[in-house]
Structure 1
Amino acid sequence: MCEKKNTISSQRVLVMDDDHNIQNILSKVLRRMDCEVDCADAGEEALEKYRKSFKSSKPYDLVILDLIVPNGMGGLQTMVGLKEINPDVKAIISSGYFQEQDLTSYKEYGFSSLLNKPYTIDELISSISECLANNADYLAK
């Protein structure tokens, strides 16, 4: 687990989730892994933050997107916008509704990993590590 944590440390992560409790928990966990974390409530805000970050000297290394955002842009639509900004964006899709959505082909949407809520810290670490390590592999497919 230390090896995975070292892979994750010092990353800039954008978390998009409409649930502030999830934002707070993820922020705390990721900051304990020495990540810099920013949060957005919906896709529109996430796209704005990502665009500004991408143009700066400190772009986000990873984005974690909630699949369903009532009254806002969800993860799939947000991913389309992110890929327009940066075709090499590294992203994880997260949701408690995977049974209701067919995301078995999540890589076809450009995501490198998925997190099924509720998830453990180990599952989070594994998903982030997979995203960071395998990004080039899934982009080539």
Structure 2
Amino acid sequence: MFALLEESHLVAQEKKKKILVMDDEDMVGEIACQMIEYLGYKALRVTDGADAVREYKKHRDDGDGFQAVIMDLTIPGGMGGKEAVGKILKIDSEATVFVSSGYSTDPVLLNFQKYGFSGGIAKPFDLAAMQNLLSSVV
């Protein structure tokens, strides 16, 4: 019985963890959020890097920060992940920020640490890759 209570408590704690998703493509962003929520986390989606930086700071200042951020590398006409990661790391040098890209051979995705990211995930997302990514640090 105690094992069930402990497991239930861990699941409840896990659901409180929040992931910020930044992607300008509606379908991609919604699928990412659905996967994240299926895995037991809360997800908030924004469509560009400026919004991601603003939401990250707001939630951190409110004491209810994100455990990780997943950022699309390229946002046409907006701030992409490459620029936004630097701004988030200035707010919180311990931030966990992942890069995502539809270009699996993109140098930023392949050398994510060089650009300040904690990891990377290629699009299209799959559930196993998302779970591995989030469980590696969250």
Shift of 1:105: 2.0
Letter in 1 for 2:107: D
- Report how far residue 8 of structure 1 moved: 5.8
Decide which structure has the larger Cα Rg and report it: 2
Return 5+ residue gaps in structure 2 as ranges.
1-10
Q: Is the 8 A contact 1:8 1:129 kept in 2?
A: no
Question: Which 5+ residue runs of structure 1 have no aligned equivalent?
Answer: 1-5, 133-141
**Which residue of structure 2 lines up, in the alignment, with residue 66 of structure 1?**
72
Q: Give the TM-score normalised by structure 1.
A: 0.82
Name the CA distance, whole Å, in 1 between partners of 2:21 and 2:62.
Answer: 18
TM-score, normalised by the number of residues in structure 2: 0.84
Residues 1:110 and 2:119 are matched in the alignment:
no
- Aligned match of 1:135: none
Amino acid corresponding to residue 67 of structure 1 in structure 2: L
SS in 1 for 2:37: helix
Greater relative contact order (Cα 8 A, min sep 6): structure 1 or 2? Answer: 1
Runs of 4+ in 1 over 2 A off after TM superposition: 6-10
* CA distance in structure 2 between the partners assigned to 1:110 and 1:9 by the alignment: 27
The 8 Å contact of residues 71 and 98 in structure 2, kept in 1 or not, is answered as yes
RMSD (Å) for aligned C-alpha atoms: 1.9
